[in-house]
């Protein structure tokens, strides 16, 4: 695809083109250095995509940006071109797993029922026919609160099958209740993704006037069809208007409201981008660094040790509550910087003696666990408790299950757990990523 | 205290005065009807305080407001005047219980140590001498993660003792880790408050340049000295600037960040007001309906049944985890609108047979539990699970302990639990109260 005018002009003025190394200073002052990438369908017309040396891509708005050519890169050094179909629309597979997005209300009983055929789902959003060539399959039809690791593993294998069969991207429709757990699990399971894996759901079923089902699905398909993201993301309503969706990294997202359409938020990280509806057409903007799709084939690495518990700390938490539920490991969701009451320390000592894997996240949800500030944290570290850094509790829980199935020793498990694998942890956290009430702003 | 000019003018034009019934249309369009109250020290100069028929007070900004006299109220019908000392500064008691606000860093070891004398605490903020006549006492000195119901009970009795000895308001300095639990407990324990009870803490200790300790304490003392709030509130930094603090209702507040100074947020409700620092002087603005101080004496009703557990639902939550930790009751922190996996239903049935008290809150934190939308929720209600409406999980946990110590039957416990007691639940929720990332706004 050729570059849109504004992008082409900026490149031309600097004598740069596809594959060259450039340095761009964006209007917001951020400086990006990387290789000039192709422009993709559904990308906003004013966005230049760069491949960073980290291997991640970023989309930079060209308005107010300046660009400098760093190095002309000969064609032979360049990465091979996108394999997406050029002569038609990109193939997107929709895998349905249940949830409100694939449900309708039976007005006789008031109950919510699942959609029973793939056609029902796709035909609910006729605009999709202009966005992608769709393949739709029902994998299972369950409330997401009932999903187990075995279901995450099944979805991972189905995603691989779709990519192996030539899909450009895969959309997974899913209940919102535990979408964050599935998104994290798929992020750890799926390697060498040749295209985006997009989880999407709805807070209100598609036959209600206020439903977010059709817009969310449209946005999800646009991300799956129109980007070369090589990550697992969640696409959901971005605000109360019907104007945009946000693209959340699968390991940084959490459902933060029981009923609002904009219930999903990225915590401790900015969303990777957004999908704006302009004249009813989805326009995808990727604004944060993200992993670029590889050549595939997808590798699924989904071994899990399910003998991990999650316990939120509260004033009445006694040692025997902890002891009675911990099997091979536990994620403690402590207070503040990562604390539990001193009276639980005997239980911690026992867990350490027995070689259990004990991780500390924070019930604050935002911010980083820091167990060096107070004596409680230092004591807990001496008892073998591993700080989950800036990981969400739910993500730490899924990662702990994955790590325990992949490490032979406790030290190896600790090392694996503290190694970033899928954007789930970072050395620094963007302050803008903290959701705050309007009244305080 | 006389009315400031802007307030006096608005009243005069309508022929209204102290104690009269008026109707005010505020600049934001909201209409308030109530009795004209006195103007208090530290109230903003443009705020008119009304006593609403609900018994709550509200502060209305007079700029752009219109006022109509509804009824002249004869002096004999009026409530007695404030008992606050007129000839000097109001008496405020500071009760120290530990935490970062009463700590300093030992630069030799890097460890945080508690302040050991009341003088140390008060002398850290010399400006307080202009705001109130202070009495300071150390009740205990503990990390808040170690606090138990017995400590909440002790604080409640100490608060009563201070009011009985003539305090206008009481400030409780407290660790931030579990401040939300203590604030909720005091809200349920303390009745007929003759003045404000203000919990305050700090995210960074007072000897650090970025400390919030002194400003938070100053704001807390201003609320305790300068208002006639009859509620338990939390006063903490409102934003990253050093310009204001927010006044949160004790039953609606939660620590939402591990380290930021503006970590405390009201969820599902707007803050009751704010404290702005103007020329380094605290100005208190109460903008939402709040309970007005009574005549006292304080009644402490602090019986608690501590045999209540709190369990957050997660994909690997099995029935035996639930069964092994529930004593007399449990707060389930479910997914979405209030769900747990169907495979835990046998455990729920067992709890119901045994007459256990089972409550459902949501791990989304914001929004309301609604167990009528999906079959999972309806099934759970049939199994005796009680939806916690729009209560925070931590507040539902504290309330469940209080309710189980006060009800003789299960039905009475259910009825008490679903009765609003201290602003902890409401039939409708303000949409502005949902904290959202700046990027989505």
What DSSP line would sit under A215-273, residue for residue?
Answer: HHHHHHHHHHHH--B-SEEEEEE-SSSSSEEEEEETTSEEE-BSS-TT-EEE-SS--SE
pLDDT exceeds cutoff 50 at A152: yes
Tell which wins on pLDDT, B118 or A2. A2
pLDDT exceeds cutoff 60 at A440: no
Site of tokens 């899909």: A167
Rounded Cα–Cα distance for residues B419 and A173 (Å): 39
Asked whether residue B109 falls in the same domain as residue B246, the answer is: yes
Give me chain A's average pLDDT, please: 88
Q: What pLDDT is stored for residue A128 in this prediction?
A: 82
Q: What average pLDDT does range A101-109 have in this prediction? A: 60
**pLDDT tens string A245-280:** 999 999 999 999 999 999 999 999 999 999 999 888
Q: What's the first-to-final CA gap in chain A, in angstroms? A: 42
CA-nearest residue to A376 within chain B is B143
**pLDDT tens string A377-426:** 999 999 999 999 999 999 999 999 999 999 999 999 999 999 999 999 99
Q: What pLDDT is stored for residue A44 in this prediction?
A: 73
Is B431 a member of any domain?
A: no
Q: What pLDDT is stored for residue A236 in this prediction?
A: 97
Q: Could you give the C-alpha distances from A13 to A16, A22, A39, in angstroms and in order?
A: 8, 12, 18
Chain A contact probe: residue of B154, B234, B244, B315 with most A CBs at under 10 A:
B315
Q: What pLDDT is stored for residue A83 in this prediction?
A: 36
Is B86 a member of any domain?
A: no
Those residues whose C-beta lies under 8 Å from the C-beta of residue B388, and which sit 6 or more positions away, are B331, B338, B359, B360, B361, B362, B369, B396, B417, B425
**pLDDT tens string B364-404:** 999 999 998 888 899 999 999 999 999 999 999 999 999 99
pLDDT exceeds cutoff 70 at A201: yes
Tell which wins on pLDDT, B401 or A318. B401
Q: Is B356 a catalytic residue?
A: no
Asked whether residue B158 falls in the same domain as residue B252, the answer is: yes
CATH number at residue A398: 3.40.50.40
Angle at A403 between CA A398 and CA A408, to 5 degrees: 155
The sign of the torsion formed by the CA atoms of A265, B434, A335, B103 equals: positive
Is B376 a member of any domain?
A: yes
pLDDT exceeds cutoff 70 at A285: yes
Q: What is the span of the domain harbouring residue A276?
A: 91-300
**pLDDT tens string A169-185:** 999 999 999 999 999 99
**Which member of B306, B335, B369 has the closest CB to residue A177?**
B335
A149: chain B residues, CB-CB within 8 Å? 315-316
Is A112 a member of any domain?
A: yes
Rounded Cα–Cα distance for residues B36 and B73 (Å): 10
Q: What average pLDDT does range A119-144 have in this prediction? A: 80
**pLDDT tens string A230-241:** 999 999 999 767
Asked whether residue A226 falls in the same domain as residue A102, the answer is: yes
Is B170 a member of any domain?
A: yes
Is B117 a member of any domain?
A: yes
CATH number at residue A47: 2.30.30.520
Number of domains, chain A: 3
- The neighbouring-strand residues paired with A91 are A133
Q: What pLDDT is stored for residue B55 in this prediction?
A: 64
Is A435 a member of any domain?
A: no
Q: How confident is the model at residue A77 (pLDDT cuts 50, 70, 90)?
A: low
Is B435 a member of any domain?
A: no
Q: What pLDDT is stored for residue B84 in this prediction?
A: 40
Asked whether residue B273 falls in the same domain as residue B183, the answer is: yes
Contact A312 B333 (CB under 8 A): yes
- Specify the pTM: 0.86
Contact A339 B143 (CB under 8 A): yes
* pLDDT < 70 positions in chain B: 1, 40-43, 54-55, 76-87, 103-124, 206-207, 240, 439-441
Q: Is A356 a catalytic residue?
A: no
CB A195 within 8 A of CB A230: yes
B176: chain A residues, CB-CB within 8 Å? 336
CB A251 within 8 A of CB A187: yes
Asked whether residue B222 falls in the same domain as residue B140, the answer is: yes
**Two tokens at A408?**
């032979």
CB B240 within 8 A of CB B261: yes
User: ipTM value of the model?
Assistant: 0.85
Q: What pLDDT is stored for residue A424 in this prediction?
A: 97
* Least Cα separation, residue A250 to chain B (angstroms): 17
**pLDDT tens string B288-302:** 999 999 998 999 999
What DSSP line would sit under B41-108, residue for residue?
Answer: TTB-TTEEEEEETTSEEEEEE-TT-EEEEEE---GGGSPPPP-S-SSSPPEEEEEE--SGGGEEEETT
Q: Is A176 a catalytic residue?
A: yes
A381 in B contact zone (CB under 8 Å): no
Task: Give exposure, B350-387, as e/b (b: 16+ Cβ within 10 Å).
Answer: ebeeeebbbbbbbbbbbbbbbbebbebbeebeebbbbb
Q: Could you give the C-alpha distances from A180 to A60, A262, A272, B241, in angstroms and in order?
A: 28, 14, 16, 33
Contact B335 A397 (CB under 8 A): no
A385: chain B residues, CB-CB within 8 Å? none
**pLDDT tens string A19-59:** 899 999 988 888 888 888 877 666 677 888 887 776 677 78
Q: What pLDDT is stored for residue A107 in this prediction?
A: 52
Asked whether residue B233 falls in the same domain as residue B321, the answer is: no
A145 in B contact zone (CB under 8 Å): yes
């Amino acid at each position: 695809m050729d570059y849109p005018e504004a992008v082409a002009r900026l490149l031309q003025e600097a004598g740069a083109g596809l594959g060259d190394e450039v340095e761009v200073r964006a209007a917001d002052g951020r400086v990006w250095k990387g290789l000039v990438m192709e422009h993709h369908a559904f990308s906003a017309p004013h966005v230049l995509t760069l491949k960073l040396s980290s291997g991640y891509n970023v989309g930079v708005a060209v308005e107010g940006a300046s660009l400098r050519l760093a190095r002309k890169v000969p064609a032979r050094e360049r990465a091979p071109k996108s394999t997406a179909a050029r002569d038609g629309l990109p193939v997107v597979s929709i895998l349905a797993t249940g949830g409100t997005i694939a449900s309708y209300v039976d007005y006789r009983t008031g109950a919510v029922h699942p959609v029973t055929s793939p056609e029902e789902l796709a035909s609910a959003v006729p605009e999709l026919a202009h966005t992608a060539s769709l393949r739709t399959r029902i994998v299972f039809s369950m409330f997401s609160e009932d999903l187990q690791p075995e279901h995450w593993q099944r979805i991972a294998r189905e995603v691989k099958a779709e990519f192996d069969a030539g899909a450009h991207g895969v959309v997974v429709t899913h209940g919102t209740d535990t979408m964050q757990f599935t998104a994290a699990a798929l992020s750890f399971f799926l390697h060498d993704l040749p295209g985006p894996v997009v989880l999407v759901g709805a807070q209100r079923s598609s036959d209600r006037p206020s439903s977010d089902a059709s817009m969310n699905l449209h946005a999800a398909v646009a991300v799956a069809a129109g980007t070369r993201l090589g990550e697992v993301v969640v696409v959901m309503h971005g605000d109360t208007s019907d104007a945009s969706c946000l693209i959340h990294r699968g390991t940084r997202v959490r459902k933060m409201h029981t009923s609002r359409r904009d219930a999903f938020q990225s915590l401790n990280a900015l969303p990777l981008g957004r999908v704006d509806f302009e004249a009813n057409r989805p326009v995808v903007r990727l604004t944060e660094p993200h992993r670029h799709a590889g050549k595939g084939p997808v590798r699924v690495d989904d071994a899990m040790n399910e003998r991990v518990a999650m316990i939120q700390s509260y004033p009445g938490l006694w040692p025997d509550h902890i002891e009675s539920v911990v099997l091979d490991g536990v994620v403690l969701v402590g207070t503040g910087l990562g604390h539990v009451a001193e009276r639980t320390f005997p239980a911690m000592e026992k867990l350490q003696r027995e070689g259990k894997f004990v991780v500390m996240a924070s019930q604050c949800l935002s911010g980083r666990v820091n167990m060096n500030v107070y004596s409680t944290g230092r004591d807990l570290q001496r008892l073998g408790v591993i700080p989950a850094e800036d990981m969400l509790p739910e993500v730490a829980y899924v990662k702990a299950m994955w790590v325990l199935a992949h490490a032979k020793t406790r030290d190896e498990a600790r090392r694996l757990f503290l190694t970033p694998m899928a954007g789930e942890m970072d050395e620094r956290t963007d302050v803008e990523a903290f959701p705050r009430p309007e009244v305080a702003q």
